[in-house]
Amino acid sequence: MRPAKGGTIADTRAAAATVVAQVLEGASLNQVLPAALDTVASRDRSLLQQLCYGTLREYPRLQPQLARLLAKPLRSRDREVEALLLAGLYQLSATRIPDHAAVAATVAAATALSRPWAKGLCNAVLRRYLREREVLAAQLDDAAAAAHPQWLYQAIHREWPQQAAAIIAANNAQPPMVLRVNRRLGSREDYLATLAANGIEASAGSLAAEAIYLAQPMDVSALPGFADGRVSIQDEAAQLAARLLQATPGDRVLDACAAPGGKTCHLLELDPTLRLVAMDVDPQRLRRVRENLQRLSLDAEVLTEDAAAPVQLQGQRFQRILVDAPCSASGVVRRHPDIKVLRRPADIGSFAAQQLAILRGLWPLLAPGGRLLYVTCSVLEEENSGVLQQFLQATPEAILLPAPVGELRPCGGQLLPQVQGPDGLFYGIVQRP
């Protein structure tokens, strides 16, 4: 049992309500969940993660039902009570927790949140839900029933009419845990044998040569050789970037939006002779890059710089540039369910403008004959092929190359998220003559 600061252990459902409330106020799950995990008993950490991820994953479905169950909206200062009720509805509708236990624990958590007045409210709302859940479910519109915000649901169906149901299903599923084998320290076959010898069920990926899917997620510390760098955690779709970049020995390579460093490390695992600069605009996130490089005993120059205006690299040239651009993350919703709460339709245009600025900022750094790989974790055309089309129109000397992966798009290839497969990533490749 891990005591929280001050020696007290937080109620798990109250901790989940606190996290979800902060996300509803605009914080990202990655920002607030790690600290909350330290406030609960170690045996309850997985439950806290499940309550937070699950409640946010189902939020577009749960919120309209909660609104119907409340006689009047809760005040903004009672956001934690709202989040607690949402977590209660999640337990009753999407988990195997017995109804009586979910209700009792949620009601008790109101006291842990220092909202004893809300005990009666929680009890009444959750018990009414149990009586009326079928009626409430029937009143949901299509987007809410699919646990997606209306705008994203419509965008997916508009852009991927044939694949929409599969994308929605993937977005609502718990993602698989995928490993990247460090080929410097052994083959994928060797590591699969090691996993089998340790009773860990796993299978090889079908797209990336180093990818292994675990049958069940597990703590990385229990993975054989993780601390020694034999494997890293990285989705199979992300592992394709290093191959598509096609760097050759001794190339000067720029990973322009490098944090947290997964693609940087993969490139160096495949070829340690690369002269690699790992750059990111966020110095805090670059700490993760350094940590990953250290764990894997790899070496790269780490640089804080804005890819849209790389002043420190002026006059330098790279044979390969990897641009894993900031985006809506609409292809990795299953790993970041807070996107359903935080993202707005207007964000897509803002990301597209930022992505285009980054491409224009980096283009002068590409050496003659060099290759630039543009990657996003989005499934929305405006950020992907649409950005590359604008870039090519403004940069007539740039040569568009085929990206032989996924669904063929006007300027690249698109992998779509799959329940037991890769994340949804877009790849576009351009070359300087």
For residue 398, what are the contacts with CB-CB under 8 A and spacing of at least 6?
A: 363, 391, 392, 430, 431, 432
SS (H, E, C) 200-219: CCEEECCCCCCEEEECCCCC
Q: Is 228 annotated as a binding residue?
A: no
> 397 and 433 in contact (C-beta within 8 Å)?
yes
Kindly report whether the peptide bond that precedes residue 176 is cis, defined as omega within 30 degrees of 0: no
The catalytically annotated residue of 122, 265, 327, 377 is: 377
Determine if residue 386 is labeled as part of a ligand binding site: no
By CB atoms closer than 10 A (0-12, 13-18, 19+), residue 61 is: buried
User: What is the number of alpha carbons within 13 Å of residue 217 lying toward its C-beta?
Assistant: 12
The strand ranges marked E within 281-403 are 301-304, 318-324, 366-376, 399-401
Closest by CA to 291, choosing from 256, 259, 323, 267, is: 259
259 in a known ligand binding site: yes
Q: How far is Cα of residue 152 from the mean position of the Cα atoms in its chain?
A: 16
> Which of 221, 237, 244 is CA-nearest to residue 295?
221
Whether residue 411 lies in the annotated active site: no
* CA dist list (Å): 405 to 213, 375, 385, 428: 19, 12, 14, 10
Which amino acid appears at position 216 of this protein?
Q
Q: Is 306 a known ligand-binding residue? A: yes
Distance in angstroms (rounded) separating the CA atoms of residues 404 and 425: 13
**Greatest Cα-to-Cα distance within the chain, rounded to the nearest angstrom:** 70
Residue 260 annotated as lining a ligand binding site: yes
Here the tokens at position 142 are: 């299509």
258 is in an annotated binding site: yes
Our measurement of the distance from residue 48's CA atom to the centroid of its chain's CA atoms, rounded to an integer in Å, reads 18
- Contact assessment for residue 24 and residue 64, using Cβ atoms and an 8 Å cutoff: no
Report whether 411 belongs to an annotated binding site. no
Instruction: Tell me: is residue 263 an annotated ligand-binding position.
Output: yes
Question: Looking at the annotation, which residues are catalytic?
Answer: 377
Q: Which residues are annotated as a binding site for S-adenosyl-L-methionine?
A: 257-263, 280, 306, 324
Q: Which residues are annotated as a binding site?
A: 257-263, 280, 306, 324
